[in-house]
Amino acid sequence: MSQIDDLPPLRDVIATHDLRAKKSLGQNFLLDLNLTSRIARVGGALDGVDVLEVGPGPGGLTRGLLAEGARKVLAVEKDARCLPALAQIAARYPGRLEVVNADALELDTSAHLTPPWRVVSNLPYNVGTELLIRWLTPASWPPPWESLTLMFQKEVAERIVAAPGSKAYGRLALLAQWRCDARIALTLPPEAFSPPPKVHSAVVHLTALPEPRFPADPQVLEQVVAKGFNQRRKMLRAALKGLVPDVEDRLRAAGLNPTDRAEQVPLEGWCALARELA
Ligand code: SAM
């Protein structure tokens, strides 16, 4: 295995700073720096790009991002115990690592970043989906970020890239695929982490499209999709009952079959329905 930097191995960093993993913070650390460099490269070369990393922990992915040439990494970490380890990395890469001790859900990160910027994170499981939804629903499109490279539980990653007709297909797939290209870049077994989680994990890569694939008002689309999948086993005419008085007619006007179920309707159909109801 090749060395990516001259800092101590992550096992030593964790022992030196007594970073025993806390379950409540979703702490499962990556210890293999060759793997973290590989994750850092998923979205392509990082030269001239700022990176937002949520939850750097002891800094394995942070080191990968810096070694791979990121112009600057903004690392937002809630757990103050990690700060001395991250300070060591900042000293190794002068002026290129800014660490903020904060809850990523509370921080306005855009003030700390210069375009172009990307997000690359091994997300804490308890806030991962919420952060993804926030990144996917900015005030206007295109979003301020170029791409998102994010580690999730494999089951969540499959929901993001799911195709119509599959069990995993739903709100998350539609939200992601409406305005992004989304793919699973790699999957990882539990043993890749310390401590190992109970499930497999996967890195999803999302690239922002300049425009949505099909026109629709974001709020109407979100409302219709949420209601449609809320009772996913029901036919559309029942699942969407109460949304408008003449729901069957509106479904037909949008080119949809009122007796279909939500999981059978492709993205284009949901956008047509959102336009019909707007
Ligand atoms: N990036 C490291 C790695 O790959 O080894 C750690 C990943 S670990 C899955 C998630 C990290 O997110 C932990 O360091 C945890 O303390 C941090 N974290 C949890 N909730 C957070 C929040 N709301 N805001 C910022 N960081 C958070």
> What is the tens place of the pLDDT at every residue in 118-166?
999 999 988 999 999 999 999 999 999 999 999 999 999 999 999 999 9
pTM higher than 0.95, yes or no? yes
Number of domains in the chain: 2
Q: Is the Cβ atom of 27 under 6 angstroms away from ligand 1?
A: yes
Q: Which domain holds residue 153?
A: 10-208
> What is the tens place of the pLDDT at every residue in 97-113?
999 999 999 999 988 99
The CATH number of whichever domain residue 155 belongs to comes to 3.40.50.150
How far is the centre of ligand 1, averaged over its atoms, from the C-alpha of 108 (Å)? 17
Residue nearest to atom 18 of ligand 1 (CA): 55
Residues at the binding site are 28, 30, 55, 77, 103, 122
**Among the atoms of ligand 1, which is closest to the Cα of residue 107?**
24
Q: Which of 160, 179, 208 finishes a domain?
A: 208
If asked whether residues 158 and 70 sit together in one domain, one would say yes
How far is the centre of ligand 1, averaged over its atoms, from the C-alpha of 260 (Å)? 41
> What is the tens place of the pLDDT at every residue in 195-217?
999 999 999 999 999 999 999 99
Residue nearest to atom 5 of ligand 1 (CA): 29
Q: Is the Cβ atom of 29 under 6 angstroms away from ligand 1?
A: yes
The CATH number of whichever domain residue 262 belongs to comes to 1.10.8.100
Long-range contact pairs involving 71-75 (C-beta distance under 8 Å, separation at least 24):
71/46, 71/47, 71/96, 71/114, 72/96, 72/97, 72/98, 72/113, 72/114, 73/97, 73/98, 74/50, 74/98, 74/100, 74/109, 74/112, 74/113, 75/99, 75/100
